[in-house]
Amino acid sequence: MPRSIRLEYPGAFYHVMARGNRRERIFADDLDRRFFLQALGEACERTGWRVHAWVLMSNHYHCLIETPEPNLVAGMQWLQNTYTRRFNTRHRAWGRLFGDRYKAVVTEGRRGEYYCTLLDYIHLNPVRAGLIHLERGGSVRDYPWSSVAGGYALPTRQRPVWLVCEEGLGAYDLSDDAAGRRRFVAHLDERARTEAVRKCGVPWGIRGQSTNLDSRDWLD
């Protein structure tokens, strides 16, 4: 059966997800994660992408990407091929690193109600995977490999230029200052404390259903 054609247009927003081949790890350690973020930044320079959120897990990643130009396919091809080559060179490995075709779900953009829902979903992935323990005094900010610790909780000068946190904060009616950043993290921590771990941040419309978003494949 032929693959469906990717929908591309200027100003599109995509929830992008990619998983390791045979569901294996795509990051062996933190240096691999740094290499991936470096490649993502390079992809943004090449394409003009604007990243609104990201999280790196062990065998997959999630990104919310805005494409000012209709170039998702070319950019994703460069990003995943580049990271695969660097991963294989470092680990003296061979072959494909990523599994099935990456998923790219077109979203409403920052004007739609789903924008904040998706930011929460991405940032609360480590909570669903059991990697953050708020009952022990932890915080969503403690997970170092998401755009919370890597951007939203940081002053502007310490963020990657391709991460547009000010727009994400604005969607919650928060200012891009120390108080607004604290309130954003507190909002995520409150959801983590009050919702069931495996369903934390999962949109109500897909809770209790068997979906690609709500499966163990996208948690570990």
Average pLDDT over residues 8-23: 95
The model's pLDDT over 107-154, given as tens digits with 9 standing for 90+, comes to: 988 877 789 999 999 999 999 999 998 888 899 999 999 999 999 999
In a domain, 213, yes or no: no
In a domain, 96, yes or no: yes
- One DSSP character per residue, 185-220 reads HHHHHHHHHHS-GGGTT--GGGTTS--STTSGGGT-
Which residues span the domain enclosing 134? 12-205
In a domain, 99, yes or no: yes
**What is the crossing angle of helices 114-123 and 178-194, to 10°?**
70
pLDDT at site 215: 43
In a domain, 130, yes or no: yes
What total number of domains does the chain contain? 1
In a domain, 1, yes or no: no
Answer whether 19's CB lies under 8 Å from 60's CB: yes
Which CATH number covers residue 133?
A: 3.30.70.1290
93 pLDDT more than 70 = yes
Tokens of 214: 């709500």
pLDDT at site 133: 86
The pTM is what?
0.90
In a domain, 210, yes or no: no
The model's pLDDT over 152-174, given as tens digits with 9 standing for 90+, comes to: 999 999 999 999 999 999 999 99
In a domain, 78, yes or no: yes
The model's pLDDT over 190-204, given as tens digits with 9 standing for 90+, comes to: 999 999 988 999 986
In a domain, 50, yes or no: yes
